[in-house]
Amino acid sequence: MTRAFVPAVFTVALSAVALAQPQFTVDPIEAPDGFALYPSAINDSGVVVGWWYGSPVTNRQPFIYSQSSGYTLLPKPAGLEFSVPMDINNAGVIVGFACPTWSDTTNPRGWTYENGAFSMFPVGSHAVTINTAGLIGGSSCVDVVDGSVDCLFTSTQPPAMTTFPGVGGHSGGMNRPLVINDSGQMAYRTGATTAVFRGTDGTLTFLPPPPAGWSGISVEGINNAGQVLARWTRSTSHPLRWYSRGFVWSAAEGAREFGIPAFSNRPKAINNHGQVIVESGGHDQAFFDCWLWTAEGGLVNLDNKTDLGENLVLTDLYDINDAGQILAGGDTITPPAGIYLVLNPTDPVTPACPADIGSAGGVAGSDSTLDNNDFIVFIDYFFAGNPLADRGAQGGASGSDGAFDNNDFVVFIDQFFSGCD
């Protein structure tokens, strides 16, 4: 595709990617002796992290899996017997937390695992997310009285962390109270009924509060366009049930729900193409349907979209990467068995244009258009030292080198004129 350079104004528009009806092949994640798995995350290379438990109940192990290398156990930090990988970035850096034993969650320690070595955060912390640039997010300040986690943190290298007010859930919890995209934008809860989007300049924008009849809010994900995946929540006491009402929020469009006809719909993850995976059912503990949603294509029920056909019933969704691979769980009819799997799209999603980092007005976020706004955002990133501007190595070769210099401009301009070709 030829690009014509027009000084000061760039008007090259990229047509939106039309997403075809998805079809998937199934890649089972095999656990030893049929033990139960708890997958946490999948990166863009299809590498999965999570943990499993067996018999006795104390036998709980963290794992890493890929289709090419199979399933292997991860080591645990010294002296800590229960370890939970929570996220993995595209460089293969894993973050999580560990406790002395599986039943003692009052003394968690966040960790990162890179090149075969652990780096530890202080006691009373959970590391739950890491972006492409290596920015780690998590929760800290465990209350020894009730186990609540009273603040959040970011870090680029443990044990150092920058803490700020936020609601971190409870010690030992498996949820991500903080989500971060590649530019460092975040979303998190600030109270039982309040959650915020935080820009790279620290500006806070409140997400819509729970509507009448709903009593809480939770965040589930954020992509590089600044779209936040969240849900309003409520519960009943007799019987005890939890319900979710999911939505995608952006500063430009506000909250947009998915249109699922169910009492409860719980979004689980969003990728940089705006693809969302959602579970739905009578309540949060009784899901019967698993969905893929996009703004352009609407809802697709995933149950009959795999090469196992009606022999597979999906019951759980965990994560989706930018290649469109979905981390899931389900049951086979014949033979009857619970399985965990990666759904591989037969028509992978087209990668985003690397230079598409700006939207109208020079605001950070992809808008499927290459124009002057992308240059404005790149320059802002460059002078702010944002890792997304660190694009070039010596000689103008593509690749981060930890420096901000002319090489980054050379690579960005090349990416701009190459577009999505």
- Which tokens belong to 387? 């890792």
pLDDT at 18 over 50: no
| Contact (CB, 8 A) for 304 and 283 | no
pLDDT of residue 395: 73
| Residue 185 pLDDT grade (very low, low, confident, very high; cuts 50, 70, 90) | very high
Comparison of pLDDT for 396 and 210, the residue scoring more: 210
Comparison of pLDDT for 65 and 12, the residue scoring more: 65
Calculate the alpha carbon distances from 367 to 227, 249, 363 in Å.
12, 15, 10
Name the helix (H) or strand (E) containing 408.
helix 406-418
- Which tokens belong to 260? 């699922």
Q: Which of 31-35, 96-100, 384-388, 398-402 has the lowest mean pLDDT?
A: 398-402
pLDDT of residue 17: 38
Mean pLDDT of 390-397: 72
pLDDT at 1 over 50: no
Q: Which of 36-45, 83-92, 363-372 has the lowest mean pLDDT?
A: 363-372
| Residue 13 pLDDT grade (very low, low, confident, very high; cuts 50, 70, 90) | very low
- The letter for the amino acid at 37 is L
pLDDT of residue 372: 87
Cα distance between residue 339 and residue 29, in whole Å? 8
pLDDT of residue 105: 73
pLDDT at 75 over 60: yes
pLDDT at 3 over 60: no
Mean pLDDT of 317-341: 93
Mean pLDDT of 167-191: 87
Cross-strand partners of 291 = 278, 301
Comparison of pLDDT for 351 and 279, the residue scoring more: 279
Give tens-digit pLDDT for 187-245.
Answer: 999 999 999 999 988 999 999 999 999 999 999 999 999 999 999 999 998 889 999 99
Cα distance between residue 298 and residue 189, in whole Å? 27
- Give me the domains of the chain, ranges plus CATH numbers: 24-345 (2.130.10.10), 353-418 (no CATH)
pLDDT of residue 20: 43
Q: To 5 degrees, how large is the angle CA 234–CA 237–CA 239?
A: 110
Mean pLDDT of 343-354: 76
* Rounded percentage of the chain residues whose pLDDT exceeds 90: 54
Cα distance between residue 301 and residue 114, in whole Å? 37
When the pLDDT of each residue in the chain is averaged and rounded to a whole number, the result is: 85
> Where do we find the tokens 């652990």?
118
| Residue 2 pLDDT grade (very low, low, confident, very high; cuts 50, 70, 90) | very low
pLDDT at 8 over 90: no
pLDDT at 137 over 60: yes
- Which tokens belong to 279? 């579970």
pLDDT of residue 387: 65
Give tens-digit pLDDT for 287-320.
Answer: 789 999 999 889 999 988 998 888 899 999 999 9
Give tens-digit pLDDT for 230-240.
Answer: 999 999 988 89
Q: How much of the chain is helix, strand and coil, in % rounded to 5?
A: 10, 45, 45
Give tens-digit pLDDT for 252-274.
Answer: 899 999 999 899 999 999 999 99
pLDDT of residue 87: 98
39, 138, 42: which is closest to 88 by C-alpha?
42
Cα distance between residue 191 and residue 194, in whole Å? 5
